[in-house]
Structure 1
Amino acid sequence: MERSSIKYILTEEMDWEVLGGGVSRKILGWDNQIMMVQVKFEKGAEGSPHQHFHTQATYCVSGKFEFIINGIKQIVKAGDGVYIEPNLLHSAICLEEGILIDTFSPVREDFLDGSGVSYFSKK
């Protein structure tokens, strides 16, 4: 079944979806093949170690984050990108308040049904 978001997602007209642990998001567009999500982190917020079958590419809009992907640690700051292959264990800790743009393929069904929030916490 083909499904998709509306064509224009105007973020100023949207409320942040609060995920807990200092993390909020806005879903910026999706169909069955791809999803883009704006994620706001408070300092100390953490995406706990997790893995999923989706390919993920992330762009750091602002802030500073410590990513660990498959045991390899890297500091990421505004302007940097991250690529996460399917099924790799990964996590992120927000070192300076910031925003990430996450892109997933295929769509994160768990985000649409509200169940994909369990791996966020605040240190």
Structure 2
Amino acid sequence: SWKKLKELYAKCGDTINIQSLMKSDPGRFKKLSLSLKTPSDGDILIDYSKNRVDGEVLRLLFELAKERRVEQARDAMFSGEKINFTENRAVMHIALRNRSNKPIVIDGKDVMPDVNAVLSH
């Protein structure tokens, strides 16, 4: 998919104009945006319509993500697996953003008390 994306960009990447895309497709915003509900922080709008993408580019990007096993990597991150291979440890991204303060267990230990202690300084 990466090769296909590069080929597509080489073919037409320099000619893509967002204003033209918006003008030629009045439904572009509706087709290329979505709203994610959060439990307590309101909606998050994700708007791809104002980027140099179309259905084919998105299809290839999703294909690339599947090939690169992004979903599996995400799941491994959320389950506390050691995906930081340079340091041989779990990543702490989710703990740093854990506003609910639910326990996050890595190697059998809830890391939230330590994370909160560091963040309080």
TM bracket, shorter-chain basis: under 0.3
In our comparison, the structure showing a higher alpha carbon Rg is 2
TM-score, structure 2 as length reference = 0.22
TM-score, structure 1 as length reference = 0.22
Normalized per residue, which structure has more strand?
Answer: 1
Q: Which has the higher contact order (CA 8 A, sep 6+)?
A: 1
